[in-house]
């Protein structure tokens, strides 16, 4: 039977569930994958997002959904880029389904006027994978390699007090403060200032990207969507005596899967480096999340291999590499 690519009806929960199951099964062999829990997916997929254009398509073999595509393009910044995430059910791989979905993604990107298509491919440490080989065959190049790292909370939390005490003498002039979303009004401008410099300040290899553009409206919209999907965001700041944001780190936990956490960006503003703020805020951030979610077992993060400073901090915290994440791009 021939494969048919059709738009996903994002408001048909039965279709959304099949779509989610295809994506879930496609990554089931990766024990530390970052796949969304069902309750989060059923909330996110139908949402409208004003800062991004999204396209969901499914591959069908008769009445069986066998492949899934999520493609999107930013509307506020990096408008030369589009992104694609392709999943094929393991029982239906090597039938050309991934290629058909990639063609759909490229057509979407070109229709949106994008000249770069980005994605991610995961592979074992020191090895390759079917997804990486697929991407290479289809003209993608690796622009940045990240080590996906996991920290086991039960095995490492006993070191937090010592690490915090070690850092304390270096940041006496700063306040370490953790808040849960929504970000307090007085910290929104500082939060966005750091977010807006993240791409240019963090090592980004050969990625064809520019800084993102965050403002209060965009932040509040994201916070609202995350809350509706059950995500709880903890942000730890280092603040100067006059309330300026000197450093920031974020952790996310979804209430429907509280055993795992996701480390988002961490950045120390250049003018405030040298005070061990990066390690201090990450210790405080982990402690706050573990206190609120006692079920938390592990946290996952990704660090560019070339980001020596952040890798050193995460080593101190007990993170271990479990997988490679290759950020890949294709010129259209």
| pLDDT band at 33; cut points 50, 70, 90 | confident
**Ranges of CATH 3.40.630.30 domains, the chain:** 3-114, 149-321
Residue in the structure block whose two tokens are 């980004």 = 204
Q: Phi and psi dihedrals of 139, rounded to 5?
A: 95, 5
End-to-end CA distance of the chain: 31
Average pLDDT over residues 214-227: 96
Give residues with Cβ within 8 angstroms of 255, minimum separation 6.
230, 231, 232
Give, in words, the CATH class of 149-321: alpha beta
In tens, the pLDDT along 267-298 reads 999 999 999 999 999 999 999 999 999 999 99
Whether residue 35 has pLDDT greater than 60: yes
**pTM of the predicted structure, to 2 decimals:** 0.95
Query: Which residues pair with residue 247 across a beta bridge?
Result: 238, 268
Average pLDDT, integer, range 295-303? 96
- Burial 302-326, CB ≥16 within 10 A → b, else e: bbbeebeebbebbebbbbebbbbbb
Contacts of 46 (CB under 8 A, 6+ apart): 10, 11, 16
Nearest to 105 by CA among 59, 44, 136, 144: 59
- Look at residue 256 and tell me whether its pLDDT is greater than 80: yes
Specify the pLDDT at position 34: 85
- Topology given in CATH for the domain delimited by 3-114: Aminopeptidase (3.40.630)
Give the model's confidence band at 227: pLDDT under 50 very low, under 70 low, under 90 confident, else very high.
very high
How far does Cα 186 stand from its chain's mean position? 26
* Contact call for residues 297 and 95 (beta carbons, < 8 A): no
H or E, element range at 227:
helix 216-228
Q: What is the mean pLDDT of the chain?
A: 96
Percent of the chain at pLDDT exceeding 70: 100
Kindly report the CA angle at 164 between 159 and 166, in degrees rounded to 5? Answer: 95
């Amino acid at each position: 039977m021939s494969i048919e690519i059709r738009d996903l009806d994002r408001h048909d929960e039965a279709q959304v569930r099949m779509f989610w199951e295809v994506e879930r099964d496609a990554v089931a062999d990766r024990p530390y994958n970052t796949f969304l829990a069902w309750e989060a997916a059923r909330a996110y997929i139908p949402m409208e997002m004003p800062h991004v254009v999204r396209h969901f398509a499914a591959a069908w073999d008769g009445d069986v959904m066998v492949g899934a595509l999520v493609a999107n393009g930013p509307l506020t910044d990096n408008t030369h880029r589009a992104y694609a995430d392709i999943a094929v059910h393991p029982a239906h791989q090597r039938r050309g389904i991934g290629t058909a979905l990639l063609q759909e993604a490229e057509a979407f990107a070109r229709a949106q006027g994008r000249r770069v298509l980005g994605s991610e491919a995961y592979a074992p440490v020191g090895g390759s994978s079917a997804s990486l080989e697929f991407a290479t065959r289809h003209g993608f190049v690796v622009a940045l390699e990240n080590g996906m790292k996991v920290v086991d909370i039960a095995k490492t939390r006993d070191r937090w007090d010592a690490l915090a005490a070690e850092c304390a003498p270096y940041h006496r002039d700063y306040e370490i403060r953790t808040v849960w979303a929504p970000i307090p009004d007085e910290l929104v401008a500082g939060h966005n200032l750091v977010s807006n410099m993240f791409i240019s300040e963090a090592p980004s290899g050969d990625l064809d990207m520019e800084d993102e553009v965050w403002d209060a409206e965009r932040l509040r919209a994201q916070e609202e969507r995350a809350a509706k999907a059950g995500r709880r965001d903890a942000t730890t700041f280092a603040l100067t005596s006059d309330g300026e944001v000197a450093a920031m780190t974020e952790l996310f936990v979804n209430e429907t899967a509280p055993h795992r956490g996701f480390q988002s960006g961490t950045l120390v503003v250049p003018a405030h480096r040298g005070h061990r703020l990066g390690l201090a805020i990450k210790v405080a951030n982990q402690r706050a999340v573990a206190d609120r979610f006692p079920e938390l077992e592990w946290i996952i993060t990704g660090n560019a291999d070339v980001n020596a400073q952040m890798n050193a901090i995460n080593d101190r915290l007990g993170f271990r590499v479990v997988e490679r994440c290759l950020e890949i791009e294709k010129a259209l």
